[in-house]
Amino acid sequence: MLVRGLRGLQHLGLNLTGLVSALYFGLIAGAVQSGPGAQARWCLAGMALLAAVAWLGNLRRARAIAEMATSRIGSAAQGYVELMGRASVSPEHLIVTPLGGIACIWYRYRLYSRDNAKREWRQIDSGVSSSTFDISDATGVCTVDPDHAEVVGAEVRTSYPGQDKLVEECLFGGGRIYLLGDFATLSGSSTVLSLREDVVSLLTSWKQDPADLHRRFDLDRNGTIDLHEWEQARQLATRTVQRQHRDMRQQPGVHLLRAPRDGRLFLISALSPQALRNHFLRWTAFHFCIGLTATAGWFYLA
């Protein structure tokens, strides 16, 4: 449930690192304003607990990256894998940020309005893209479904349209992309097909054009299609659908990377595996220091 909740926050365009930092500042402010006493100890206890969760989460990410070997798209095993590839620059895979108009393969944005009374920026809108994009290496092409992904290392662009502030994070076509997620090859041979349903659908489509139906199957030209003629139409429809099914099953497989259903990490990054691992290790150290300081403060006030 916790993993799904965090994925939901990411899907709404919220930056979890920023959210944790905001919680830290809120707890610190609560402890300072309340002064020495029970409320301050509760704030420090909350900080220590939050730091422990964040420390474990970042350590888990660093270990997952270190333990996974990078697979090639063309030979990757089905299931949880690590991939590196170059993002497609094809216009059909590029999208445009809704407010800044930046062409990219993925974006997340936050729009802020100036609160002059409090002299601070207040978030008024946010969003994250869900369009698929392709990455490729020397062995093949993989389509990426970024829904519920944790995206790290995206390029950040800040602009000030009018009286507002717009922060956009983007991944761009042509760049190297790191991925950690669930890999599946959707091949034509594994496609579930129903001969009966498809024959019925084809015959229904033929009935929608009565003139052509009579031209093709009213063999005695008496203006009606009898049972014998309709049986011939059904046999032709069956042969047509069988041929279509054979063609579909011979189509090459499509590689897809998406969020694991078992709650494991789903990472997308413009950083290299080593740089990404170092990123999470730095945050691991940061949260450890926060937790240690909060714990020491709690004992001091106890």
Q: How high is the pLDDT of residue 13?
A: 41
Q: pLDDT value at position 31?
A: 76
Least confident of 9-18, 197-206, 219-228: 9-18
User: What average pLDDT score do residues 173-197 get?
Assistant: 83
The H helix count followed by the E strand count for the chain is 7, 14
pLDDT, position 251: 65
pLDDT in tens, 283-297: 999 999 999 988 988
Q: What is the pLDDT of residues 65-112, one digit of tens each?
A: 998 999 999 899 999 999 999 999 988 889 999 999 999 999 999 999
Strand-pair partners of 184:
256
Q: Per-residue pLDDT averaged across 174-183, rounded?
A: 95
Q: What is the pLDDT of residue 188?
A: 58
Question: Quick one: pLDDT at residue 300?
Answer: 79
| Residue-level length of the chain | 302
Question: pLDDT averaged over the chain?
Answer: 86
